[in-house]
Amino acid sequence: MSDDGQREFAVSAAGLTKTFTLEWTRKRLLALDGLELRVRRGEVFGLLGPNGSGKSTTMKMLLGLIKPSAGTVSVFGAAAGSLAARRRLGFLPENPYFPGFLSGREVLNYYGKLVNLHGQRLRARVDELLELVSLTAAADRALKTYSKGMLQRIGLAQALLHDPDLLLLDEPTAGVDPVGSRQMRDLILALRARGKTVIFSSHLLEQVQEVADRVLILHRGKKVREGTLEELLSVRGQSQLTVSGLTPELQTRLSAWLRGEGAELLAAAPPQQKLEDYFIKAVGQ
């Protein structure tokens, strides 16, 4: 029974708690406090929260890089950090943690061998991913010459090497240009279409809104909200219309008519183009 329950979830955590003991002072710091987390398979899940709220700590515990002080966490039913769990996930760390002396291609080859790819399959996969993250031209330069966004792209490529079922992306668009973050969004949606599960953290709420099925908001290590975007965001009892050819006079009449029908016009303004769309048109992509 509980096994069936496990099977439905890509990630499930119960009472997940982490306290760090600080060096020297031996002070204790509660980074995560009794988190309940269940992410269904095939879901795109956003982890939100202010700086220091415990997002990266949660991810590290999903990876088994740090051990929970209390509570349990499993990935596809296997203990977090076990080989079985790690075989099925890809991780993009929040800062570019890659060996700078290797070139982009070399680093993908290196990590590729560690996820048990080799020979022709590895070479083809590396080329494909370099293309996907638009780094083919810079592939043979050392990573220490890469810009932050380029490192982020290489980070994404290495997370995808073995085509994992679960992707953990810690601030995937930090430092990435608008074209790149749009590619990231499209990629996340494409992964979802293929039944992959994606858990990501971000501060760019607009982007989260565009891709996440569900979000969880952390504050000081505690969950403060969780739900689908619809549940959390729709303003009950209000609707938005987009009209063309609305003259001021027509608007007055419409407003009066609505009032007569017991409704009320709350706002009328030309819909704004999003800066992101505008930027992307401007740089011609």
Ligand X SMILES: Nc1ncnc2c1ncn2[C@@H]1O[C@H](COP(=O)(O)OP(=O)(O)OP(=O)(O)O)[C@@H](O)[C@H]1O
Contact residues for ligand X, defined by CB under 6 A: 20, 22, 29, 31, 49, 51-57, 94
What DSSP string describes the chain?
A: -HHHHHHHEEEEEEEEEEEEEPTTT--EEEEEEEEEEEEETT-EEEEE-STTSSHHHHHHHHHTSS--SEEEEEETTEETTSHHHHHTEEEE-SS--S-TTSBHHHHHHHHHHHTT--HHHHHHHHHHHHHHTT-GGGTTSBGGGS-HHHHHHHHHHHHHTT--SEEEEESTTTT--HHHHHHHHHHHHHHHHTT-EEEEE-S-HHHHHHH-SEEEEEETTEEEEEEEHHHHH--TT------SS--HHHHHHHHHHHHHTT-------PPPPPHHHHHHHHTT-
In angstroms, give the least distance from the CB of 201 to ligand X. Answer: 7
Q: Out of Mg ion, ligand X, another protein, none, which partner does residue 29 contact, by CB within 5 to 8 A per kind?
A: ligand X
* Residue selected from 65, 94, 102, 177 as contacting Mg ion according to rule CB under 5 A: 94
Residue nearest Mg ion, Cβ-based: 56
Q: Considering the complex, state which of residue 18 and residue 214 has its C-beta at the smaller distance from another protein.
A: 18
Q: Out of ligand X, another protein, Mg ion, none, which partner does residue 152 contact, by CB within 5 to 8 A per kind?
A: none
What are the residues binding another protein (CB under 8 A)? Answer: 60, 63-67, 83, 86-87, 89-91, 93, 95, 97-99, 101-102, 110-111, 113-116, 155, 158-159, 168
Q: Considering the complex, state which of residue 37 and residue 85 has its C-beta at the smaller distance from another protein.
A: 85
Q: Out of another protein, ligand X, Mg ion, none, which partner does residue 57 contact, by CB within 5 to 8 A per kind?
A: ligand X
Q: Considering the complex, state which of residue 29 and residue 114 has its C-beta at the smaller distance from ligand X.
A: 29
In angstroms, give the least distance from the CB of 20 to ligand X. Answer: 3
Residue 56 interacting with Mg ion (CB under 5 A): yes
